[in-house]
Amino acid sequence: MASPSQSYTSDAQPTATQFLDRIEIQRIISNYVVDSDQRVRKSALEALVNMKLCGCPLDISLYKHGVRALKDDFEDVRMGGLNLIWALGCLYPEYRMRLAHEGIDEEVRLLDDAFVKICDMVNDVDVNVRTKACTIMASYQHVDPNVLSQTFSKQIMSHNTRKARGKKGAANKVVNRQSGKMIPVAEGDFDVESEEFRILDSGACGAFVHGLEDEYKEVRNASIDSICELCMYNDQFTTKAVDFLVDMFNDEIDHVRLNAIHSLRKIGKRTKLVLDADQLEIVIGALEDADKTARESTHDLLRVVRLSTQNSLSMLLDSLIANMERYSEDQLSIYRCLHDVGRSHADFIKQMVPDLLKYDKKYLPREANADDKNYIAYIIFIVNACYMDLSIVSLLPKYCFSHFLYLRSRFPDCFPNLKEIFGKAPPDIIKQSQDIWGEESEVKDLTTAEDVNQYMDGTLDMIASMTKQLGDSNANGVQQTANIISRNLKYAAGLSPLVAGKANFADIYVSCCERFLKYKVENNLALESTSSLQCASDILHMSYRMEHTFLGLSGPSRNAGIYFRVLANMLWFFGIMKQISTDNPANITNMLMSIIERIDVIQRRFDQDNFKLAELSHLRNNLFQARSHPSSTKLAALYAYVRSFTPLGLDLKNPLKRTTAKILVPAPNIDKPISFSANLPLKIHIEANFEFVDYINTIAVMIMLPDKSSHLFWPSHHCFKPTIPYCYFLATDIEIDVSLWTDIGMLQVSIVKSFEADLPGIDDYILKYPNYDTSQANSDKSSHSTLQLCDAVEYYISPSKEL
């Protein structure tokens, strides 16, 4: 090996003395690379690599020691040789090496030679060395494309020899100089000793083929990772890699299959992948995987591929529909997949529209069921193709346009901008859908963030005006205003996610006001105990929901929600007055004392300058007087507070996020109840998505049995996987003992959030009115006050005595 023509140093130029010192140190260490003890050889190689990691440039002459170490008998030494070759390849990638053999000279880049040497280690006997070699290969992004292409070559070649581009007319024979005879080969007879052959290590040949076929999953995974990384820098390499990565979809290890799917999707995001029919058939097979993650990853992969024929597209569509029939929980993932597949295959879809929608151009089409999940899939498929090719719009039946608007409201992520489609469509199509444009006109002026904020601010002004009139005697007029506000808030929540949290919080606030107004209009507070108790329970529940299921609350908004609890407690007091015995003054005294305790809790949480503190102090004095000597006059003073109650105003300057949950598994199964042996606990797998949760230790799974008894299960922290800040994915299993009964029973599965109530005893009773279960009052499982974060899933089971 020739010496370098120039010195290679780091950015910080050392002095001549320093440089010589480094060379001398490296020369001394390199002497131990050939030591008789393997541990010394390993330590010497590690020391050289550590010098490079510390910023000290290594001398190029060390390369031969790294190559020699690759042939060592011990695994650790070969690993050290790999690291040293990698370090020198990073330092001197363009250094030209001269290889001499039998008088024939050739120059190659050190980067290419190092890559070939590392590829050759994929055939090592040790699995750790093979894994390391496959991993290091990913760092050679700029290796020669011809060398890189050899890694997928299946041609059998002799080690250390390869054929050169020979002269035309060369004799097709091989001469064995020792025997003086020709050696026959498959391509004809060639003289391997002639000048038409040049010496070059051909260890790169089939390196990735061997890595992907290795018996150990670690090697296969490392090969997949390196192939994916190298495809990011070489389009020609990508073409060859796709076929091999697709074959890995059939691997016996689920992690390897999943890695191949993710890697191919990553490649597809950079370069559009084109799959032929055979490759598509293998990819479709992944849709039958029992692992939901593998199926959804395959859906994501299909979003970045292009199919070569229309028949392949039809086969893919049929497979996705079959996948949705078998795994109903994949529905949304499949719809999102069809969103991108439709856009990338508009030319094929144009010919498929009549067959997909099942109509004949000669006859008037019959309107399809807009709620049929298969039809929805076809509509998403077609509408996204229309976005790319507007001529498809003229092929659609008239009813499709109304379905577009309806389905876009249900699946906004799966539909393009419909205004763009209709705006660029032919005039006759726009004329046919004028009735639809009328529906769109209500929202067309609220498309910008500024418009949405102005709309929300106007609605909040209406709320402020309503609260001032809440204590008036004209409750009917205020009720109409509250109804309008509630409708506006629900509409605003759907316009923009930036204001959805504010709108949801304000909607609960207005619901508290509406519930109180409705009671004032329809009932007499002093006489109707049942209505008063139910109103108190509803308002207390909404008050806790405002405080504990929103992130980003300002102090005034939080106080506004808390203040409703005073009203709820007063309503509960007047409702319970009709049910308790007046002969025992202790009952009234205890109820009044609970309200005083509530006020004390609330006063500690309010700011000292809050104007409601004086009103609360006045109410507290009246409660103490009534507690000491209950009389009709003193109770009437308390009743006057309820009649004139005015809530605190809102301050929604901060953006709010609402805590929500969505149960993915189990799915409702009214048609297919789960059979299990009653002799064993019932095991239920739970999967759910959470948004904007502050503390995951407050999250529980609630199961309500057919006998209406409820049980809480608290998942461990490791069951929650963070997705984005404050958002999580939950996967856990719960077991519950279920008694045997004769008929099919229904469990209600829901996600709840626990919180600490102001007055745990009485609040738990009020919140669960009128379904409070006294048998569970002292149970540890039922001691938590909870708020439901999603609708309950109805899960049907059928216990049996058989094992």
Q: What is the pLDDT of residues 651-673, one digit of tens each?
A: 888 889 999 999 988 988 887 78
The reported pLDDT for the residue numbered 547 is: 92
Q: Which segment of 186-195, 218-227, 361-370, 570-579 scores lowest on mean pLDDT? A: 186-195
The number of angstroms, rounded, from the C-alpha of 738 to the middle of its chain's C-alpha atoms is 34
The reported pLDDT for the residue numbered 183 is: 46
- Mean pLDDT across the stretch 294-300? 91
The reported pLDDT for the residue numbered 645 is: 85
Residue 102, classified by CB atoms within 10 Å of its CB into exposed (0-12), middle (13-18) or buried (19+), is: exposed
- 422 pLDDT tier (thresholds 50, 70, 90): low
- CATH architecture, domain defined by 16-153+169-210: Alpha Horseshoe (1.25)
Range from 15-24, 190-199, 414-423, 566-575 that averages highest in pLDDT: 566-575
The reported pLDDT for the residue numbered 361 is: 66
Contact 488, 449 (CB under 8 A): no
DSSP letter at 206 equals: T
- 478 pLDDT tier (thresholds 50, 70, 90): confident
The reported pLDDT for the residue numbered 768 is: 83
> Which tokens sit at 600?
């004390």
Residue 362: CB atoms within 10 A of its CB come to 5
- How far is the C-alpha of 275 from the C-alpha of 242, rounded, in Å? 8
The reported pLDDT for the residue numbered 676 is: 78
pTM over 0.75, yes/no: no
- Mean pLDDT across the stretch 403-417? 80
- 802 pLDDT tier (thresholds 50, 70, 90): low
Identify residue 405 by its one-letter amino acid code: L
Work out the mean pLDDT of the chain and round it to a whole number: 79
Contact 89, 82 (CB under 8 A): no
Q: Which segment of 98-102, 279-283, 723-727 scores lowest on mean pLDDT? A: 98-102
Task: For residue 799, say if its preceding peptide bond is cis, omega within 30 degrees of 0.
Answer: no
Relative orientation angle of helices 373-388 and 346-357, to the nearest 10 degrees: 150
The proportion of the chain whose per-residue pLDDT surpasses 70, expressed as a percent, equals 80
Residue 774 predicted with pLDDT over 70:
no
Q: Count how many Cα atoms sit within 13 Å of the Cα of residue 156 in the half-sphere of its side chain.
A: 3
Residue 509 predicted with pLDDT over 90:
yes
Report helix, strand or coil for 761.
helix
- 792 pLDDT tier (thresholds 50, 70, 90): very high
Residue 163 predicted with pLDDT over 70:
no
- How far is the C-alpha of 701 from the C-alpha of 737, rounded, in Å? 15
Identify the CA nearest to 440 among candidates 476, 401, 472, 479. Answer: 401
- 524 pLDDT tier (thresholds 50, 70, 90): low
Contact 523, 533 (CB under 8 A): no
Tell which phi-psi region holds residue 542, choosing left (phi > 0), alpha (psi between -120 and 50) or beta: alpha
The reported pLDDT for the residue numbered 337 is: 93
- 5 pLDDT tier (thresholds 50, 70, 90): very low
- How far is the C-alpha of 236 from the C-alpha of 122, rounded, in Å? 22
Per-residue pLDDT of 265-277, as tens digits, reads: 999 988 888 999 9
Per-residue pLDDT of 562-582, as tens digits, reads: 999 999 998 888 888 766 655
* Between residues 171 and 758, the one the model is more confident about: 758
444's CB contacts (< 8 A; 6+ apart) are 419
- Mean pLDDT across the stretch 404-408? 78
Calculate Rg over the CA atoms of the chain: 37
Residue 150 predicted with pLDDT over 90:
no
Residue 444 predicted with pLDDT over 70:
no
Residue 7 predicted with pLDDT over 90:
no
Residue 192 predicted with pLDDT over 80:
no
The residue with tokens 């994916």 is 228
* Between residues 524 and 477, the one the model is more confident about: 477
Residue 2: CB atoms within 10 A of its CB come to 11
The reported pLDDT for the residue numbered 202 is: 47
Residue 448 predicted with pLDDT over 80:
no
Contact 342, 383 (CB under 8 A): yes
The proportion of the chain whose per-residue pLDDT surpasses 90, expressed as a percent, equals 21
CATH number for the domain whose boundaries are 659-800: 2.60.40
Residue 191 predicted with pLDDT over 60:
no
- 31 pLDDT tier (thresholds 50, 70, 90): confident
Identify the CA nearest to 268 among candidates 245, 294, 293. Answer: 245
- Mean pLDDT across the stretch 2-24? 52
Q: Which segment of 197-206, 367-376, 494-503, 538-547 scores lowest on mean pLDDT? A: 197-206
- How far is the C-alpha of 180 from the C-alpha of 483, rounded, in Å? 104
- How far is the C-alpha of 499 from the C-alpha of 266, rounded, in Å? 34
The reported pLDDT for the residue numbered 256 is: 92
- Mean pLDDT across the stretch 407-430? 69
Concatenated DSSP letters for 387-399?
Answer: HH-GGGGGGS-TH
Per-residue pLDDT of 46-94, as tens digits, reads: 888 888 778 787 888 888 888 888 888 888 888 888 888 888 888 888 8
Tell which phi-psi region holds residue 799, choosing left (phi > 0), alpha (psi between -120 and 50) or beta: beta
Give the Å distances, CA to CA, from 730 to 67, 662, 692. 50, 10, 14
- 316 pLDDT tier (thresholds 50, 70, 90): very high
